[in-house]
Structure 1
Amino acid sequence: MRFCSVLQARKAVVKQIDGGYLVEEGFWGFGSGSKHATHALLKLNDRESIQQSKNLGMMLAVVPMSEVTIVDDWYTMSLKGSASNSLKIINGVIPENYVVTQDMKQVGSLPVELNGRDRYRPYVQLITSITTGISAILGLARGAVEYFVEKAPQKGITMTIHTSQAAVGHIQSKVGLATMKVESAHLHISRTIGNLERHVQNAEQFSLKEIAQLQTDMTYAAMLCWEAVDLLMAESGGSVIADSNRLSQIFRDIRGGSNHALTNQQSFTTAALHAFESMP
């Protein structure tokens, strides 16, 4: 199966019925990979429903794409190939066993009765952030460094005596700094995965401070990756503004990806501060 996912509904009018849930009206944006997916992972809560029922928690539903309408509205400056179209469901029924309900107040606890892979179920949103969010940004940053290093030996600097970027000292320094930013981002992401694995395997509860650390690690990693690509762009000359330039494509994509709610420094820094303020 191939999934696209949206973890925040713009509108979700959902009623519980015998054996499942009736989605009277649902609208989600943006469903990355929508045109290539076999199933959608959709949050059945919108902001209004969460405010009206604080005990509702988070509901994530697996829905075959055959039951979802793809809205043709993805026209952007970056991530053009992600097919992140909006998704719509009208009067659709989702069986109960295709819905995961998570009480957000208990996000730090791991039910002891869960075994095997089921022990990861309480952390669906965190796992999604790692697999479809920050991992893609890290891959883009690595690709930017590899592309620049591949082209530098044969690329001169216009209106100078330099016939190879690779032979210029300050460019070597910038590439080294960009590389270390990407490697540092990798370390932060590895720590996030390690912390998740340790808590799941030992059935340990996450503290609010630890949750804030996970969020901060991922968003800081995204910032490092974006900064690394920005350094390389500054040394790439005027030709880098062409739409066909691969580094230009990566630059636009990583900027768009870094603005996502799962990896945006501003949104997760705010969440981390709230977590710390809630600690006794």
Structure 2
Amino acid sequence: MNGLAGIALDDWFSQGRSLIYRGHKVRYWCAGQGEPLLLIHGFPSGSWDWHYLWQSLAERYRVIAVDMLGFGFSDKPRYYAYSLLDQADLLQDVLQHLGVGDYHVLAHDYGDSVAQELLARELAAQQKLQSVCFLNGGLFPETHHPVRMQKLLMSPLGFFLGLLYRRKHLAQAFGKVFGPETKPDEQELDAFWRMLAFNQGPRVMHRLIHYIAERRVQRERWLAAMQRNAVPMRVIDGAVDPVSGAHMVKRYRELIADPDTVLLEGIGHYPQVEAPEQVLAHYLAFRQTCDAAVVDAEIKTPA
């Protein structure tokens, strides 16, 4: 049973701020003080996905969340060339706008890929990435099992699917990727749908879905960045997720040296919604190990 108080979608919206990125309005949220923590949402929803964790994280960190272009309450231009690399540019612009230097990342799904891009830029970036925690996402194209909706969006029928897409289709898709005992209730489904439907979001889903092909193009570059092991990483993964569950974690353990992974039994694709208390506990434990490693390195470094 989840004991963390969430935030109603209307309240969440009212707390947001806006900036202009490449001529388009982008919605973002900030709260708390301390080390900056960037929360990166997944497809096809938005930053409200983090609402159960928001207050608890804001008590410890300066939390920042952005509805990326095409998502949530940001603009969803119909003919925009959406890409994961461009979304990384957007997030870096927001961080610069907020005067952020060093920062940490907690990402999910589509956001995992954007985080991988930020990780690949880490050596050259003005803002220095200090740690990355991935929730269920397609870190490796060979382990990503897209749902039927995603396959149709990638097909020539994708545009027409967007025109016909309704709340019932979202409910069906989410019903398949959430855990058997942790499925979203009607109120949560309403909120997910409102984020998606805002600014006629279904009309750009067929453009956003190109991220799946983009992952294949960037695979080797992103994997090399992860294997450098210069930035602490942890995976917290809902084990029964058919898209990127235990099978993805198995591959992660094969490819990444000294892998730091946590499997949440019975939890599906949205662990921050299905099991936020577990995600919070495992994330805070990860940050404690990161802080301990920094202190240890400082002790070992000669003056």
Q: What's the TM-score bracket when you normalise by the shorter of the two chains?
A: under 0.3
Q: What's the TM-score, normalizing by structure 1?
A: 0.27
Q: What's the TM-score, normalizing by structure 2?
A: 0.25
Higher strand share: 1
Structure (1 or 2) with the larger CA radius of gyration: 1
